[in-house]
Structures are given as C-alpha cells and as structure tokens.
Amino acid sequence: MAAFTPPPLPSDDNRWKIVNGTMRKNGFARHALIETLHTVQQSFGYLDDDAIRFVARSLRVPLSQAYGVVTFYHYFNLKPPGRHTLTICAGTACYIKGADKLLADAEKKLGVKPGKTTGDGEVSLMMARCVGACSRAPVALCDNEVRGELTRAQMIEQLERWTVA
C-alpha cells in the first residue's frame, strides 16, 4: 500500500499548525477526530466545511462520518460565534429557579433563538446543559464569566451594555 501523505494545510494561517500539532501528537490516528475538532474550535471559534474536510482527510475519516460526529456533539459550532456570548444554563436547578424566563427574555431582547447570533454579529445566545454551578441557580455565562443568581433585570442590563458598545 502506498504511504499516506496528509493533505497540505488549507492556508498559511498559523492556527492550522496548531491543529496539525494535535493530530501529529496522536499519530494521525482516527480516534483523534474529536480531540482535533476541539483544537479547531479553540483556534478558530467554530468549524466550517473546509476545516472538517481538512481534518477528515488528514485522519483518513470518511467525510460523512466526520460530519456525523461534528453534528452529534452540541459543543461544536458550525457558525462563527458573535462578539459576545450569553450562555444560559438549562440544568434542572436553574430551570426550577426560573432559567426558562431568562431565556424567554433574552430571546425577545435579542430577537434570536438559542444557538443563533444576532444579525449584526454582536451577540450569540446559547444554552448549556449544566455548568455545574447549580447551587447558585439560575446561572448564565456572560462571555465565559459565571454569573450566579442572575435576575432578569441584570441580564437585560448586560445585553444592553453589549449591544450599545
């Protein structure tokens, strides 16, 4: 069998070298798919078709299988995130303490559904299964900062700060 040559990097963007590093560290084994996708998302913020194609070809994973993996795991984004991200925790403790009302308010304020970004690319509205800060429910992550016992007014204020700035 002919020796396998990995495909060339998609561009001279240095971030591809980081992605390649994860694959090399794992000996370009197929099982490194999820690890590598994590590296792509960390480096680029999301996974587009070119990135998935590059990783799949490099690891010799069928394209459809790679796409199946990307879309199975909700942590992976196929679209670039907004400049800011509001992630509302959808865990049980948060739900019992009114996270659904926070979500409804956020949807109304931003005019987007969870998983989507506002048209101007400013704010992404996301939901997390549970961030493990249940004792301070309801919880939301404002650009990765944990905000416990968040009130609707505080949340709206935060969103306004983002959209005005």
Does residue 71 belong to the site contacting other proteins (CB under 8 A)? yes
State yes or no: residue 46 binds other proteins (CB under 8 A).
Answer: no
Binding of residue 11 to other proteins (CB under 8 A): no
Choose the binding region for other proteins from 15-23, 84-92, 110-118, 156-164 (rule: CB under 8 A). 84-92
* Shorter beta-carbon distance to other proteins: residue 34 or 156: 34
Tell me which of 10, 28, 38, 83 binds other proteins, using CB under 8 A: 38
Binding of other proteins by 126 (CB under 8 A) = no
Applying CB under 8 A, does 66 fall inside the site for other proteins?
A: yes
Binding of other proteins at residue 68 (CB under 8 A)? yes
What size, in residues, is the chain?
A: 165
Closer CB to other proteins, 74 or 121, in the complex: 74
Using the minimum distance from each CB to other proteins, give the nearer residue, 50 or 160. 50
The three-point CA angle 40-42-43 to 5° equals 65
Q: How far apart are CA 142 and CA 137, in angstroms?
A: 14
Verify binding: residue 130, other proteins, rule CB under 8 A.
yes
Please report, as ranges, the residues that interact with other proteins according to CB under 8 A: 30-35, 37-38, 49, 52-53, 59, 61-69, 71-76, 90-97, 128-137, 139, 145-148
